[in-house]
Structure 1
Amino acid sequence: MLLWACLVSPGRGQPPDASAVTLYFFWAQGCPHCEEEKVFLNALVSRDPRIRVVSLEVTASGDNRELFQKVCQTLKVPLPGVPLTVVGNLYVAGWRGDHTSGPLLLKAISQARSQGLPDVVGSLLPTAPPPAPGLAIPETLAVPWFGEIKLKNLSLISLTLILGALDGFNPCAMWALIFLIGLLLGLPQRWKMWLYGGVFIFASGLVYFLFLAAWLNVFLFLGLVFWVRLGIGVVALGAGVVNLREFILDAT
């Protein structure tokens, strides 16, 4: 996922207060980059109690989703997406690891303490929400057959391999593969076999790429999760009806 950092010149305001800094963390369920940043923020708060993190999940809360859109418009975020961390009028979009995105976030915190940046997100909130306890997540994840995995040290390539291996035992993917094999067995033309098989592999790879890059969260921000699921279900049901109809007609 692309990373963007915007450092805006602070306006004239109150004297800086170095005793506390508030971070607004926008995240979404199912976002692997968000989980990586959660581990970093959890460790950061443990080292420095003066840092206060406000966790704002955007998929389950319409208010948080609306606030996220307002913040992106106010800060002129070019590619809105999660995770998005806002400190004053500075933001870090995306998360490319502790050694890449981490220094950008620490620099924003240091600048907020030294210059007293205006609280952009706080000004858009009707009331300031309390820090969510969801940041205290475990640093390890138990995965079947792989044992304990440290989220902090998990790379994108490793995550892709793990999800791909686990998806091999996914009942939905297994039935799709069985259906594809049955379809290919009935094709006399070899070029059609290559075409259908290639389309299946390409579509699977594209979906994994979109998921891991967190671009599918665009639908979540717009509140279209239900309609996307409904559309996929209708298409799948229609395809099943068509194939059953052709099977019955061929049998008769």
Structure 2
Amino acid sequence: PHCSREKAFLAELGKEVPGLTVALYEGVEHEALWRSMCAQYGGVSCGPVPLTFIGDKAFIGFSEEEGPLEKHPVYNAYVGYSNQLIIALEEELGTSITNPLHRSSSQVVLFLGIVLALYLASYPLLGKRLGKKVWIGILAGIIIVSFFILIAVTPERTIKDFAEKLPFPGFVFVVALADGFNPCAFTVLIILLSLLTHTKSRKKMVLVGSIFIAASAVMYFVFIMAMIIVGSFFFSRYGVFIMRILGAG
């Protein structure tokens, strides 16, 4: 999947950036060239793919997310964040390049904004026909779906960078909001709300809802702490071995 995503990414750049030539080679079919390039770039590991060579830099893998210029200690190559590929191309070509992933995100935001504006403008007509409650319910559905789409198309690094600039409570709120908009959470919430509505008792709704929130918070805390403790233990001892297995897979 990484190779196919990077091919689409490079194809967009090849169409729009003057003077850029993208040469694609299959490692199996051009093994001698592949190993020769790895050796020329300081002994880059030839195991995992994709490998991207730009100027004097070699990049391992591909991620649509944005990240810093960091060298992978196992593969002796830079991590293939999309923004770092763009920066390397800008340095080589001496020109400014727009990340095609940013452009697609902006188009999605514009489209969602137009849809929301049109629906809000339809209130004088649809509000009377559907009824105020139904119209507001549809509006809430549009907003929720829009959040799903926005979070899906927004790079994770962008969300993290924005959240890290906020005070700690704001950081927690933004990260929790981004994490909460997922199909699993909303499926559980729909089932829970259906059960609570069936009780027809506000006291029971508050009791069950409070227990659900508290239990979710405790389980999240336990699992996250377990992942941190167990993960740090294994990676401190077997990190290189684990990364080689993951890279080979």
Q: TM-score, normalization: structure 1?
A: 0.31
Task: Work out which structure has the larger RCO, using CA pairs closer than 8 Å and 6 or more positions apart in sequence.
Answer: 1
Higher helix content, 1 or 2: 2
Q: Which structure would you say has the larger Rg?
A: 2
Superposition TM-score, scaled by structure 2 size = 0.32
More strand by proportion, 1 or 2?
A: 1
